[in-house]
C-alpha cells in the first residue's frame, strides 16, 4: 500500500529564515512515526504545512498516494488529517460536547447536531477507551482530560492521520503513560500517528520509526528498534550530547532561603499548601518532586511574592520578609528571582517583541536607559547577546515573542532571570518543551549557578531531572511535604511512593 503521508521537497521561508529545506518524509499507514529535532529545527513548521496552517513555497504532499492540495485546516480535515496542538484549541467555558461540536454543528438545529455528537462520542469512547463526562466544563478538567477532548474532536471529524505536537509537555508521567496506551490502541485500529516530541525516552517507547530534523533539513529516518537515544541526540544536535548531568559533590553553605510553616490557598480559596517548612542553602539545589497539582505551583508562587500565604514565614538570608516586601519587585531587588512554570501566562507577553519580553520585571535597570524612558537600542543589543549565549533561534530580538518555538521562549525566560546574578533562584519546570541540546545547556547552567554559591529551589514533574540535578529531594503530596532524601540515596521507587502519599516508614 502507499504510505499514509509522503512529503516531497518541501520548502518554506519566513523572510530570511529558511524553516524547511527540501524536506522529504514518508509515514507508513497504521504506524506511530516520531519526528525529533531541536527547537527551531522546523518540525512544527512542517506539520503546520501538512495541516494547512502554512502553505509550502514549493514541494508536494501525497495522502494515501494521491497528490493533495492542503490550503487550510478544513482541507486537511477533508483529507482525513487531524492535529492536537501543544497549546489546546478549546473553549474552557463550554462543555465537552459543545467543544466537539464547534465548527461541525450540523445545521441550525443544534439539538439534532448535539444528539449526533453524543452518539458518536459514545461510540468513540467505547472503541478507543476514551471515556469522559460529555457534560463536564472543559476548564474544570485536568490537562490530560483536556487533551483527550482534543483527540476526540479530531476522531469525530474522521481523522485517519493524527498529528500530536509535543503532547506530553503539559502532562504528568501517569497521564503520559495513559496517552501512549491510547496511541498504541489507535495504531492497532488502523490509525496513523505522527508524534512531534523532544523526549527521546518517549520516542523509544512508543514509535515504530523516527525522523530527525536539524536546522530545517531532514537528516535521517530510522527504524526505532535500530537506533538509540545517544545516536538520536547526536543526529539532532550535530555533536555528542551528554545525557546525564555531571556535578561534583560540595558541602552546602549558609541557609539562604528559609520557609517555616507556610500555608497557601489557591485561586478557589482551597488550601493548596499546608504547613510546609524547608531550607535552601548556598551552593545547593533542592528539588521538589510530585505529581502536578499537589501544591508545588502555589508554593513557588507564594515564595516568589505572587500569592500571599495565609500562615507561615519566609526568610531570605536571615531576614524575614514582611507583608510590605512580599511582592515580586522587592524580592528581585533582594536577590530572589523566579523562572515561572507557565512561560506564556507568567513569564512572557506573547504579543510583545522579544526584546520587550526580555526585560519584564527589570525595566528599572539603569543599564537599559536613563530616567523613565527605556533605550530600545540597548534592549535589543542586550537580548542579542543573550540569544547568542543561550542559542535562541532565530536570533531576532525584534521578532514577536509568540513567533518563537516553546523551547526558545523558555531559553529567553531563563536567560533573563539567570543573567541577573540571583542569590536564590526559584525554577519551575525548567526544561518543559525544550529540546535535548537545550536541556543539556540549561542543566549545565543551573549546575554552574549552584557551584557559584547560588541557592536553587527546583520544581519539575520530570523525576529524572529532579534526581540528576538535586542535592536534596523533597516530595509533595496533597500540599504537604511527605519526605526528604539525599539525591545520592534516592530511588525512583522510593520517591514514587512518597509522591503518592505513602508515609516515610512504609516507603
- Concatenated DSSP letters for 324-340? GG-SHHHHHHTTEEEE-
Mark out the alpha helices in 88-228 (DSSP H runs).
Answer: 96-101, 110-128, 143-156, 173-188, 200-206
With beta carbons less than 8 A apart as the criterion, state whether 109 and 101 touch: no
Q: Which domains does the chain have, with CATH numbers?
A: 5-237 (3.40.50.300), 242-335+422-507 (3.40.50.300), 351-421 (no CATH)
pLDDT digits (tens, 9 = 90+) for 425-478: 999 999 876 777 778 888 989 999 999 999 999 999 888 899 999 999 999 999
Please calculate the CA angle 507-275-472 and round it to the nearest 5 degrees: 50
Residue 431: predicted pLDDT: 87
Residues 6+ apart with CB under 8 A from 52: 70, 71, 72, 73, 74, 75, 76
Cell of 82: 487531524
Please calculate the CA angle 368-371-377 and round it to the nearest 5 degrees: 30
With beta carbons less than 8 A apart as the criterion, state whether 450 and 284 touch: yes
pLDDT digits (tens, 9 = 90+) for 59-110: 999 999 999 999 999 999 999 999 988 777 888 899 999 888 887 666 555 6
Q: Which helix (H) or strand (E) holds 232?
A: helix 229-237
Closest CA to 417 of 497, 344, 361, 480: 361
With beta carbons less than 8 A apart as the criterion, state whether 347 and 300 touch: no
The residue assigned the cell 536539524 is 214
Residue 172: predicted pLDDT: 63
SS (H, E, C) 375-388: CHHHHHHHHHHHHH
The arrangement of strands across the sheet holding 319-320 comes to 271-281, 255-265, 311-316, 319-320
| Phi-psi group of 351: left, alpha or beta (phi > 0 → left; psi -120 to 50 → alpha; rest → beta) | alpha
Residue 391: predicted pLDDT: 84
The residues of the chain scoring below 70 in pLDDT are 104-112, 169-173, 242-243, 371, 433, 503-507
Residue 139: predicted pLDDT: 85
Q: What is the sign, positive or negative, of the torsion defined by CA atoms of 427, 429, 431, 434?
A: negative
Number of neighbours of residue 24 by Cβ within 10 angstroms: 14
Q: What is the sign, positive or negative, of the torsion defined by CA atoms of 227, 228, 233, 239?
A: negative
Separation CA 133–CA 141 (nearest Å): 10
Residue 366: predicted pLDDT: 86
Amino acid at each position: 500500500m502507499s504510505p499514509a503521508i509522503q512529503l516531497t521537497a518541501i520548502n518554506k521561508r519566513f523572510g530570511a529564515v529558511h524553516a524547511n529545506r527540501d524536506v522529504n518524509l514518508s509515514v507508513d499507514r497504521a504506524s506511530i512515526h516520531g519526528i525529533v529535532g531541536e527547537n527551531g529545527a522546523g518540525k512544527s513548521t512542517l506539520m503546520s504545512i501538512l495541516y494547512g496552517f502554512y502553505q509550502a513555497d514549493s514541494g508536494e504532499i501525497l495522502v494515501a498516494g494521491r497528490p493533495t492540495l492542503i490550503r487550510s485546516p478544513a482541507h486537511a480535515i477533508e483529507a482525513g488529517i487531524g492535529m492536537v496542538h501543544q497549546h489546546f484549541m478549546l473553549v474552557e467555558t463550554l462543555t465537552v460536547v459543545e467543544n466537539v461540536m464547534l465548527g461541525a454543528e450540523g445545521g441550525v438545529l443544534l439539538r439534532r447536531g448535539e444528539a449526533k455528537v453524543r452518539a458518536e462520542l459514545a461510540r468513540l469512547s467505547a472503541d478507543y477507551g476514551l471515556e469522559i463526562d460529555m457534560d463536564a466544563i472543559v476548564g474544570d478538567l485536568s490537562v490530560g482530560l483536556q487533551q483527550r477532548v482534543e483527540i476526540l474532536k479530531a476522531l469525530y471529524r474522521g481523522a485517519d492521520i493524527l498529528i500530536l505536537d509535543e503532547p506530553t509537555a503539559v502532562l504528568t508521567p501517569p497521564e503520559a503513560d495513559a496517552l501512549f496506551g491510547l496511541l498504541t490502541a489507535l495504531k492497532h485500529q488502523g490509525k496513523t500517528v505522527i508524534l512531534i516530541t523532544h523526549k527521546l525516552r518517549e520516542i523509544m517507547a512508543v514509535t515504530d520509526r523516527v525522523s530527525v530534523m536539524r536546522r530545517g533539513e531532514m537528516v535521517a529516518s530510522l527504524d526505532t528498534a535500530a537506533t538509540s537515544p545517544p545516536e538520536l541526540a547526536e543526529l539532532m544536535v550535530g555533536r555528542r550530547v551528554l545525557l546525564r548531568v555531571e556535578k561534583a559533590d560540595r558541602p552546602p553553605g549558609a541557609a539562604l532561603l528559609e520557609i517555616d510553616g507556610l500555608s497557601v490557598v489557591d485561586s478557589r480559596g482551597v488550601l493548596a499548601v499546608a504547613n510546609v517548612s524547608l531550607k535552601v542553602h548556598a551552593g545547593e539545589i533542592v528539588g521538589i518532586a510530585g505529581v502536578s497539582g499537589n501544591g508545588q505551583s502555589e508554593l513557588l508562587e507564594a515564595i516568589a511574592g505572587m500569592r500571599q500565604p495565609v500562615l507561615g514565614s519566609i526568610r531570605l538570608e536571615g531576614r524575614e520578609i514582611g507583608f510590605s516586601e512580599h511582592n515580586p519587585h522587592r524580592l528581585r531587588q533582594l536577590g530572589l528571582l523566579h523562572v515561572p512554570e507557565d512561560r506564556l501566562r507568567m513569564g512572557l507577553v506573547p504579543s510583545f517583541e522579544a526584546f520587550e519580553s526580555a526585560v519584564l520585571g527589570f525595566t528599572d535597570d539603569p543599564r537599559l536607559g536613563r530616567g523613565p524612558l527605556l533605550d530600545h537600542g540597548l534592549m535589543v543589543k542586550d537580548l542579542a547577546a543573550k540569544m547568542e549565549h543561550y542559542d535562541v533561534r532565530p536570533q531576532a530580538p525584534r521578532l514577536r515573542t509568540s513567533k518563537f518555538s516553546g523551547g526558545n521562549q523558555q531559553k529567553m525566560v531563563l536567560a533573563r532571570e539567570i543573567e541577573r546574578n540571583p542569590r536564590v533562584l526559584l525554577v519551575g519546570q525548567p526544561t518543559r518543551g525544550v529540546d535535548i541540546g537545550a536541556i543539556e545547556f540549561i542543566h549545565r547552567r543551573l549546575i554552574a549557578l549552584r557551584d557559584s554559591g547560588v541557592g536553587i529551589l527546583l520544581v519539575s514533574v520530570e523525576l529524572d531531572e529532579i534526581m540528576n540535578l538535586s542535592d536534596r529531594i523533597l516530595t509533595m503530596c496533597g500540599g504537604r511535604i511527605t519526605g526528604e532524601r539525599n539525591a545520592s540515596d534516592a530511588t525512583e521507587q522510593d520517591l514514587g511512593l512518597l509522591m503518592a502519599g505513602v508515609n516515610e516508614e512504609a516507603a
